[in-house]
Amino acid sequence: MNNLYIIIQARMTSTRLPGKVLLPLCGKTVLEVVIARLDKYKKNIIIATTNDGSELPITEICDRENIKYYLGSTKNVLERYYLAAQKFNAHDEDIIIRVTSDCPLIDVDLLDNCIKMYNSKKYDYVSNRLKRTVPVGLDVEVFSFKLLKFMHENAEEDFEKEHVTPYIYLSNNNNYKLGSCVEYADNSEYRLTLDEYDDYKAIKEVYKKFDNKIDFSYKELINLLKNNQYIFDINSTVCQKILKN
C-alpha cells in the first residue's frame, strides 16, 4: 500500500496577515486547529515551514503536537514540498496531499473524497478546486510523489514555485489527467480561508456558533452558513488572489 503524506505549508511571514497561523482560535492557535481537524491523519502530517529565522513558533507547535516538520525555502514552496516529502522517505507512487495552514475549517471528509477519487487510478491529479463546489478554504490537492518530483525538476516560473501545483493544472494542463472532485451542491460562494483580518473575524464567528467545538461535519458547516448570512457578509469584500500563467 502506498504511503500517504499530508504536507501543510506554514510560515510566519504572510504578507497580508503576518503571523496568522498563531492567531488564537478555540483556545488553540490556527495551526493547531488545522492539525486537530485532520486528527484522523495526524501521523501522516508534515508541516513544511521556512528556514528564514521566523519559524520557531511553528516548530514549537510541531514538537508539542508530535508532528513532523521540514524547514525550507520561503519563496520556493514547491521545492519545500519536494524536500519535505523526500526527507521523510517518500517514494514515486506515494500519495502527496497538499493543504495550507490558513484553512482552519479544512474538512477530513472532503479530503477523503479526493483521496478516493485519486485511488481510482484514473487521474494524475485530483482536487476540489478545479471546478469549485466547496468554499474557498476547504481546498485539497492529491498527486503522487513522482509528479511532485517532476514538477520540482521542471517548473520554471515563479508562480509555479510559489503555489506548488500550477505547473500541473495551468501551465501543462493538457498533459495530465485532472480529476475534479465535486460535492452534491455548489457552495463556492463562501470564503473560509485566512488572508486578511476580516477572514479571521468570519472564521471566529463560525467557531463561536459551534461553541468552539472543532469536530463538526461539512454538512453542519454549510447549514450554519446558510442560516447565518451575516457571517458571509463579514469578509465578502476580501478578494481572492487569482493565479495566471
Q: Report pLDDT for 241.
A: 66
Q: Which candidate, 80, 47, 72, places its Cα nearest to that of 161?
A: 80
Q: Residue ranges of the alpha helices (H) in the chain?
A: 30-37, 56-65, 77-87, 108-118, 145-154, 158-163, 166, 197-209, 218-227, 229-234
Whether 206 maps to a domain, the answer reads yes
The SS3 call for residue 16 is: coil
Q: How far apart are CA 78 and CA 60, in angstroms?
A: 23
Of 70, 61, 72, nearest to 24 by C-alpha is 61
pLDDT, position 1: 66
215 belongs to a structural domain: yes
- Give domain status of residue 241, yes or no: no
- Tell whether 34 is covered by a domain: yes
Taking only the tens place, the pLDDT of each residue in 193-230 is: 999 999 999 999 999 999 999 999 999 999 999 999 99
Asked whether 234 and 205 are in contact (CB, 8 A), the reply is yes
Round to the nearest angstrom and report the end-to-end CA distance of the chain: 36
The pLDDT value recorded for residue 245 is 47
Give the CATH number, domain containing residue 76: 3.90.550.10
- Over residues 136-172, the pLDDT tens digits come to 999 999 999 999 999 999 999 999 999 999 999 999 9
| pLDDT given for residue 2 in this prediction | 86
Give me the half-sphere count of Cα atoms (radius 13 Å) on the Cβ side of residue 67: 29
Mean pLDDT of 221-243: 90
Q: Which residues contact 88 (CB under 8 A, 6 or more apart)?
A: 5, 46, 68, 70
Structural domain contains residue 243: no
Look at residue 89 and tell me whether its pLDDT is greater than 80. Answer: yes
Our separate counts of H helices and E strands in the chain read 10, 9
Per-residue pLDDT, 107: 98
Q: With respect to residue 87, please indicate whether it lies within any of the assigned structural domains.
A: yes
Cell numbers for 239? 478578494
Q: Tell me the per-residue pLDDT of 101-133, one tens digit each, with 9 for 90 and over.
A: 999 999 999 999 999 999 999 999 999 999 999
Quote the domain boundaries for residue 46.
Answer: 4-234
The confidence score (pLDDT) of residue 242 equals 62
Q: How many domains does the chain have?
A: 1
The verdict on pTM exceeding 0.75 is: yes
* Any domain includes 98: yes
